[in-house]
Amino acid sequence: MLKALTLLLLFQLAGEVLSRLLDLPVPGPVVGMALMFLLLLARGGPDSDLRETSNTLLSHLSLLFVPAGTGVLLHIQRVAEEWLALSVALVGSTLIGIAVTALVLNAMIRRGRRDEAGS
Amino acid sequence: MKGPIADIWVYLAATPLLGLTLTLVCYQIAYAIHSRLGMHPAANPVLLAVAMLVAILLVTDTPYPIYFDGAQFVHFLLGPATVALAIPLYAQIGRLKKLALPLLVALVAGSLAAALSAVALGALFGASHELLMSLAPKSVTTPIAMGVAEKLGGLPSLTAVLVIATGILGAIGARSIYRVLHIEDHAVRGFAIGLASHGIGTARAFQVSEQAGAFAALAMGLNGLFTAAALPVLLPWLEALFHS
């Protein structure tokens, strides 16, 4: 647990340093995720300690968004002023984003299977 | 509030203990409600917990920065949790290699559809320029979205809230969309919700299956990369096109 947590923090730190050093548009933790993925590729997978710790952390992923979500308090006035445009844009674009991604991916996978079967 | 209780609240609110404990208690109540309702997506635990906390902070007249002094310890764990997403992702390596091209095409199509439809719908309903630029990056994970909003001339702290709202909406709505469109494949379901609704969508996808969660994590990372690279170039160009 402690070892795995330290490893995760070390990779986040490495990601943070790399992101700043190379002036990447992506924040440190995402770079850290990519680095961790490379480590797993090299090692042939996580050990049980790392697997269990990441499972624990990810099983409560929703909790970690609560503090930032409560930040809506800071913007109550603007939300009240522009609520219509906001709700339409948020609801519409989220549904469109999910639908377009799912339909395109589904169609591409089917085409791939057909090509495989045909060749 | 008046009297000794108010005095004790003022004292406690000045330490991180209260914000941290409140966050954990509200989340667990929210999660209990979510479980009691058979993990129904509409009873989203983030939404319920945020609603409780906002009500408590408003009633007790506690400013958000004082609450965040305690809640930041939970917020901080987002970093290591993002790194930890590499582990379920690695478990899907076999399928990932096979699907590389379809995933890339879906990434570009879905990412642009989500960002551009947000700006177009907002503009159609008279949103201010600041709001539009804060809306554009709302499908990607909070730190990337805030950085992109700043580059575009939006308000980063408003974007953080829009990001969370988008995550909650996706987690609530995805199942119905998949039902209507007959999407059965858990890799596709996960990828779409992770792309449009980042970490909160990913959390929801992990409830459905390990595979859906892993593909959601992948989509979240890829869309973060793509949005950060594409939007700051694309949006000003589109705006110039519309105003000419």
The pTM is what? 0.86
* Pairs across A and B, CB distance < 8 A: 328
* Cα–Cα separations (whole angstroms), residue B47 to A48, A87, B170: 33, 15, 12
- Residue A46: DSSP 8-state: -
Chain B partners within 8 Å of A28 (Cβ): 79
Phi, psi of A25, deg, nearest 5: -75, -10
- Best-predicted range by mean pLDDT (B83-97, B100-114, B216-230): B100-114
Contact B46, B200 (CB under 8 A): yes
CA distance B103 to B111: 12
Contact A97 B110 (CB under 8 A): yes
Six-digit token string for A107: 């169609």
Last residue of a domain, one of A63, A90, A105: A63
Q: What share of chain A is helix, strand, coil (3-state, %, to 5)?
A: 90, 0, 10
Contact B197 A59 (CB under 8 A): no
Chain A partners within 8 Å of B183 (Cβ): 102-103, 106
Cβ partners under 8 Å of residue B177, min gap 6:
A95, A98, A99, A102, B183
How distant is the Cα of A118 from the closest Cα of chain B, in angstroms?
17
Nearest to A15 by CA among A28, A6, A25, A34: A28
Mean pLDDT of B208-220: 92
Q: What share of chain B is helix, strand, coil (3-state, %, to 5)?
A: 85, 0, 15
Q: Same domain for A92 and A59?
A: no
Q: Same domain for A55 and A99?
A: no
Phi, psi of A47, deg, nearest 5: -80, 175
Chain A partners within 8 Å of B134 (Cβ): none
Q: Same domain for A38 and A4?
A: yes
* Cα–Cα separations (whole angstroms), residue B171 to A17, B217, B236: 32, 14, 30
CA distance B235 to B151: 11
> Is A70 among the domain residues?
no
> Is A71 among the domain residues?
no
Six-digit token string for A43: 């090692």
* pLDDT greater than 90 at residue B144: no
CA distance A5 to A12: 11
When CB atoms are compared, the residue of A54, A82, A109 closest to B128 is A82
Last residue of a domain, one of A24, A39, A63: A63
> Is A74 among the domain residues?
no
> Is A59 among the domain residues?
yes
The C-alpha angle with vertex A8 and arms to B160 and B208, in degrees rounded to 5, equals 65
Q: Same domain for A59 and A94?
A: no
Q: Same domain for A46 and A92?
A: no
How distant is the Cα of A114 from the closest Cα of chain B, in angstroms?
13
Contact B185 A8 (CB under 8 A): no
Other Cβ atoms less than 10 A from the Cβ of B200: the count is 32
* pLDDT greater than 90 at residue A112: no
Domain count for chain A, please give it: 2
Which residue type occupies B40? H
Look up the domain containing A106 and give its range.
79-119
What per-residue confidence (pLDDT) applies to B13?
A: 77
When CB atoms are compared, the residue of B64, B138, B195 closest to A74 is B64
pLDDT class of B1 with cuts at 50, 70, 90: low
* pLDDT greater than 60 at residue B157: yes
Q: Same domain for A59 and A91?
A: no
What is the average pLDDT score of chain B? 91
Q: Same domain for A23 and A57?
A: yes
Q: Which residue has the higher pLDDT, A102 or A33?
A: A102
CA distance A50 to A36: 11
What per-residue confidence (pLDDT) applies to B102?
A: 95
What is the ipTM for the molecules in this complex?
A: 0.90
When CB atoms are compared, the residue of A8, A67, A108 closest to B74 is A67
What per-residue confidence (pLDDT) applies to A53?
A: 95
Q: Taking the C-alpha atoms of B213, B218, B219 and B224 in order, what is their torsion angle to the nearest 10 degrees?
A: 130
